[in-house]
Amino acid sequence: MFLPITREEMNMRGWEQVDFVLVTGDAYVDHHSFGTAIIARVLESHGYKVAILPRPDYKSADDFRRFGKPRLGFLVNSGVVDSMVNNFSVFKHRRKKDEYAPGGEAGGRPDRALIVYANRAREAYKGVPVIIGGIEASLRRLGHYDYWSDSVRRSVLLDSKADLLLYGMGERSIVEVADALDSGLDIKDITWIKGTCCKSKTMPEGDEWIKLPSFEQIKEDKKQYAESFAVQYNNNDAVSAKGLAEQYTDTLWVLQNPPQPPLEQFELDEVYALPFEKEEHPSYAAQGGIPGFEEVKFSLVSSRGCFGGCSFCALTYHQGRQVRGRSQESIIEEAKELTKRKDFKGYIHDVGGPTANFRGPACQKQLKSGVCTHRDCLYPNVCPSIKADHSEYLELLRKVRSLDKVKKVFIRSGIRYDYLLADPKCDKFIEELCKYHVSGTLKVAPEHISPNVLSHMHKPPKEDFIRFTKKYKKTNERLGLKQYLIPYLISSHPGSTLDDAIELALFLKEYGFVPDQVQDFYPTPGTLATCMYYTGLNPLSMEKVYVAKSMEEKQMQRALIHFHKSENRQTVEKALKKAGREDLIPVLISQKYHKKRKK
């Protein structure tokens, strides 16, 4: 049974009052790929009554009174994507589609939804606790650079006027908060729970707390902003992190408690075994359903966390670097349930997570000492302590694809090829990957090939990509399969100059790659690369970083990646002239086109 989203559905359950109203900017999909559903079902499993208020009318507080006054509080998130990313492209054009809205119709989610919703909830029932969480809260939990206003904004805990902020994966912390409220504690006294941020009049004493540069300091001085970010980056592991304190006035601090430990395998299995309907709420059928749900409907989440450490990715800041995987039994059981669906056509779209071939901690030392703060697991090269072994993942894939009614099992969440190549038995995995888990094309994410740019991305060297490409090609030839690689690439990433973009274009031409997807770097809160973009500094070394910020250069770098497109030829020619590389005009632009331009 779906959780109630209307007063009528609440009455059908015989509830006179709910414990929590969970407000979200997404449509209600009762599936474990959506944080709203997970948090609601976890609370339900602990005996709490939860109603969901999806995509509320935010123009007044009326809709926030739909279920009456909640006994314990409002829980507020903006959706599975930061609302500004959801509403705007990297070029700050308003998006025409919302993947998490009924029928994909844009416009129903406000900008800075977390702030809007939390303030409306406060207006609806004064004195009721307001607790914020989800990706938008997690990445904006302390003072942060905001790309859309091109300014440093305060912690969203302050701007939303919420009482408490939950960051990271919130299953443990939300239950602890709920139990504390249920015991009669005032929300203002709940200040100790891991994975939360709270307001304080003073900074706590003791060695377990680190004083960050104040908000005024990071707002006025980019160097201090970078220094503050580095401290946050190195205090994001449950084993080693200390509490962080950021001052706003003489009597106002935002305190970040250390993170919650990642859920262990049995705990993950329990979460994914909760009674999800694994379907969108039936009220959306007439509007065409929820487009974003179709992407995950027949996918299996096998793990959480990522030790890849890509500087442009927010996962490190949100889920953490310690990977935990579900048990094979849990995943197989879910796969069997998928095959019983009337609309199952034999294809499982993914068995993966943030990175498909990460199934557990990078090394055993992480369990005792936490992740290293002085180096990444895979950058600048694969750490010798990593045990790169794909045998368990391969065994899992074999079990899933052998199930009745399963025709094909795809891997869409990405293969980290440097980690794969570190496995002495990688050839066997590549063979089964090509034979059973690819259909025509495999998408991989080198993101760039210039050593300079890759160093700022914390990505493996191009030689690893070339080596994997050759193995993939030879394996397909041996199997008699015509299958190709499509690289995902990022243009204008911090550190990338016009010369680097030209180097990438020449590489693509030499190897015959035609990129399917190119993303201009998007400075989202909470990432190492966004700090570089704003400050022009690498916060981990304090070295200067080149940043392409003008729209002209951004367009040039993007056009160079798609140099083969006729609509980009003029921009490519302009870029080559600006870089003093007119000699490459006949190389990257067809002779036929070049002669036409001369006439």
- Looking at residue 374, its pLDDT comes to 86
Average confidence (pLDDT) over 190-205: 97
pLDDT bin (cut points 50, 70, 90) of residue 321 is very high
| The CATH number of the domain covering residues in 298-435 | 3.30.750.210
pLDDT at position 591, please?
A: 52
Q: pLDDT digits over 71-88, tens only?
A: 999 999 999 999 999 999
Span 335-341, average pLDDT: 97
Residue with tokens 């034979």: 435
**Model confidence at 414: pLDDT above 90:** no
Q: Which pLDDT score is estimated for 274?
A: 98
What is the pLDDT, as a whole number, of residue 589? Answer: 86
pLDDT higher than 80, residue 596: no
Residue 590 above 70 pLDDT?
Answer: no
Q: How confident is the model at residue 179 (pLDDT cuts 50, 70, 90)?
A: very high
Lowest mean pLDDT: which of 58-62, 315-319, 522-526? Answer: 315-319
**What's the CA gap between 500 and 449, in Å, rounded?**
8
Average pLDDT value over all residues in the chain:
95
Residue among 364, 362, 360 nearest 303 (CA): 360
User: What does the block give as tokens for 212?
Assistant: 């960050």
* Bigger pLDDT: 593 vs 458: 458
Angle at 456 between CA 455 and CA 458, to 5 degrees: 65
Pairing of strands 324-325, 350-352: unpaired
* Joined tokens for residue 485: 């690689």
Identical fold for domains 7-194 and 298-435, yes or no, is no
Alpha-carbon distance of 233 to 226, in angstroms, equals 10
Cis peptide before 451 (omega within 30 of 0): no
Closest CA to 260 of 206, 207, 324, 330: 324
Q: With 70 as the cut, is the pLDDT of residue 388 above it?
A: yes
Instruction: With residue 581 as reference, give the H or E element that holds it.
Output: none
Please give the distance of CA 521 from its chain centroid, rounded to a whole number: 15
Q: What is the mean pLDDT of residues 59-66?
A: 97
313 SS3 class: coil
In this predicted structure, what is the pLDDT of residue 515?
84
First to last CA, the chain: 70
State mean pLDDT over 544-556: 95
H/E/C letters for each residue in 79-113?
CCCCHHHHHECCCCCECCECCCCHHHECCCCCCCH
Phi, psi for 199 (deg, rounded to 5) = -95, 150
Instruction: Say whether 399 sits in a helix, a strand or coil.
Output: helix
pLDDT of residue 102: 97
* 440-599: in CATH 3.30.750.200: yes
Structure tokens at 514: 């035609």
Q: Are 475 and 328 in contact (CB under 8 A)?
A: no
pLDDT at 597: 42
Report yes or no on whether pTM surpasses 0.85: yes
What pLDDT shows up at residue 439? Answer: 86
> Average pLDDT in the 558-581 region?
94
The H or E element spanning position 427 is helix 426-436
pLDDT computed for residue 516 by the predictor: 76
H-state helical runs in 24-88: 35-45, 83-87
Closest CA to 54 of 31, 13, 29, 26: 26
CATH class of 7-194: alpha beta
Position 595 confidence tier, pLDDT thresholds 50, 70, 90: very low
Q: If you average pLDDT over residues 37-63, what whole number do you get?
A: 98
Q: Among candidates 547, 548, 541, 546, which has minimal Cα distance to 226?
A: 541
CA atoms within 13 A on the CB side of 430: 27
Percent of the chain with pLDDT over 70: 98
Lowest-pLDDT range of 254-258, 495-499, 510-514: 510-514
Distance of CA 307 to the CA centre of its chain: 13
Give the separation between CA 504 and CA 462, rounded to whole angstroms: 10
- List residues bridging with 153 in a β-sheet: 144
Is pLDDT above 70 for 598?
A: no
The alpha helices in 112-255, defined as continuous H runs, are: 113-124, 135-139, 156-159, 171-182, 215-220, 222-233
Flag whether pLDDT at 594 surpasses 60. no
Q: What single-letter DSSP state applies at residue 285?
A: G
Q: Give the whole-angstrom CA distance, residue 487 versus residue 472.
A: 13
Give me the pLDDT at residue 266, please. 97
- In the chain, where are the structural domains located? 7-194, 298-435, 440-599
For residues 145, 150, 155 and 156, what is the CA-based torsion angle, rounded to 10 degrees? -120
Q: How many CB atoms sit inside 10 A of residue 415's CB?
A: 24
Beta-strand ranges (E) seen in 278-321 are: 279-280, 299-301, 303-304
How does pLDDT run across 269-296, given as a tens digit for each residue?
999 999 999 999 999 999 999 999 998 9
